[in-house]
Structure 1
Amino acid sequence: MKSSFIAAAILLALSSCQKDDISPDELPPATSTGAETLGFVIDGSGWKPAGQKCGIYGCTDNKVEASSYVANGRRQLLLTADRTDGSRNESFILQLDSLPGPGVYRSNSGGPGATGGEAGTKIYFANSKQSLQYQSRPGTATITITKVDTVQNIVSGTFEGQLSRLGGSGTVQVASGRFDVLYNR
């Protein structure tokens, strides 16, 4: 009887664990309706925002956040997302320093700091649990904007590229990236 109870407790514990990895098949579809989605494959594993961020004012679900603004006569775009489920504490940032409309944009920034601290078009990924940061270098990532709607505040597109480790050696490959967001909401 005692061993049955232990076996049942183990099964219950295993079934209640959060699933850390997602299949590339579980990524959101590539849409252009303002669906508030983001997903990509990083070194063969699927990634999309998940979990919660908690602070002094409570907890909020992790989701893609987007802002777009005009500076020096150019529209700029910043997307951010986090994944803090299970054993993960990861952040993703996509930044464009000039977004005149749909088109293909190549990474052009290779600054040593976390994205947002300097202008440029880039992709940034961090794994805080392992103290790892990766960023695209000039020409190593492509962001394809498929829709810019400044009336409904929708931006959608795809991205891919190789990100280099900041402060060390090594790279990660980002593929099949897609986003469909409402900005400045």
Structure 2
Amino acid sequence: MKNLFSIIIFTTFLACCNKDDNPIPTNPVDQLPPATQTGANTFGCLLDGEVFKPGLTNNSYNCFYQLVDGEYYFAVTANNTKNNVLKAISVGTEKLSISQGQTLTLLERAYGNANGRYFIGSNITGIVENYYTSTENTGELKITKLDFTNNIVSGTFYFDVKDNQGIIHQIRDGRFDMQFTQ
């Protein structure tokens, strides 16, 4: 009986030691940063079902909302390098203002439009590819917060782009909470 009791205690001890207090979520969406509105400088989305977040290097994200020659330009961009391949995701506007609560359709890159972009570049091959939303492959950008006092812009987005081989890349569940420059 003493041996049985010792085995039960030992088994319980081992089971407790194997528990991970902070397990990594298995659902990719749960691995994205929360959709906050505090200027936390966070960005994340799913790129073809895989988690995409900024890398840990300097300049891995950027956000601006600027008035240039009487026209507004907005962009939030995040990039990450893995295996010598730089990937970047961005959403923005050209000659188009944004406002809190506004939902914009992501179309082709043109003045007066909002657009989405997926960029791939390789240090090894030197090949650079830019894929933008279009009238056929669109998306949506929703501005959930725009605070000029604290220079905070937050929002959500999703879009599709078609690459040179005709493959549609899906960017989903995008969210950002950034401090912007003017």
1:151 to 149, 152, 167: 149
Aligned to 1:170: 167
CA contact (8 A) 1:163 1:172 kept: yes
1:73 positional shift: 4.2
Relative to the length of structure 2, the TM-score reads 0.71
Structure 1, unmatched stretches of 5+, are: 1-21, 53-60, 112-117
Find the residue that maps to 1:31 and give its secondary structure: coil
RMSD of equivalent CA atoms: 2.5
Amino acid of the structure 2 residue aligned with 1:160: Y
Q: Report the count of equivalent residues.
A: 149
CA contact (8 A) 1:134 1:172 kept: no
- The reply on whether 1:28 has 2:47 as its aligned counterpart is no
Relative to the length of structure 1, the TM-score reads 0.70
Aligned to 1:126: 119
With 27-36 and 133-142 compared, the bigger mean Cα shift is at 133-142
Same amino acid, percent of matched pairs: 26
Q: What whole-Å deviation, never above 9, does each CA across 1:135-176 have from its counterpart, x for those lacking one?
A: 1113711000001111111100000011122x4422101110
- The structure number with the bigger radius of gyration is 2
Q: What whole-Å deviation, never above 9, does each CA across 1:76-120 have from its counterpart, x for those lacking one?
A: 311122101345311222112323412100123256xxxxxx663
Change in CA separation of 1:87 and 1:51 when aligned onto 2, cut-off 3 Å:
farther
Find the residue that maps to 1:172 and give its secondary structure: strand
CA contact (8 A) 1:158 1:178 kept: yes
Aligned to 1:89: 86
Distance across 2 between alignment mates of 1:30 and 1:136: 23
